[in-house]
Amino acid sequence: MSDIATVMLPAKIDSETSGAVETLIIGAMRPGGRLIVDGHDVAYMSAAGVRAFARALHHAEEIGAKIAFCRFTGAAADCLLVSGFTALFDVLETVEAASQRLKGGSSGLADERLRRRGHAG
């Protein structure tokens, strides 16, 4: 997995910390690179965290990077679900699943996923 970078998120992602989290994620991205965003330690996340993820995804699309989110549980997973984030982007259960997603053909980018759903029916 050495060609895939990993970002470990803090326990709390809210209006006070979301800017730093966004900077952390975007700072770990490289053009054409692959990044796992690991939410294992996130105990609380507000809508500000979801907005930071959305901006990071937009940046990834701009530079051709691929992101996989994984290991969100509890209230943080609920926040992603209620916000609709999980309808646009897969949140995988394990680091291994995230790695496989990044190594496979599917980038999981929100824009690509929206196009696929739009053409499905």
Higher pLDDT, 43 or 115: 43
**Per residue in 6-49, pLDDT tens?**
999 999 999 999 999 999 999 999 999 999 999 999 999 999 99
The total domain count for the chain is: 1
What type of residue is 67? I
**Per residue in 48-83, pLDDT tens?**
999 999 999 999 999 999 999 999 999 999 999 999
Q: Which residues contact 60 (CB under 8 A, 6 or more apart)?
A: 29, 35, 66, 67, 109
Mean pLDDT for the stretch of residues 101-114? 57
Secondary structure of 90-116 as H, E, C letters: CEECCHHHHHHHHHCCCCCCHHHHHHH
Please give the residue range of the domain that contains residue 45: 5-118
Mean pLDDT for the stretch of residues 77-91? 88
Q: How far is 19 from 56, CA to CA, in rounded Å?
A: 11
Instruction: Give the CATH number for residue 99.
Output: 3.30.750.24
Q: Where are the alpha helices (DSSP H) in the chain?
A: 18-28, 47-63, 74-83, 85-88, 95-103, 110-118
What type of residue is 116? R
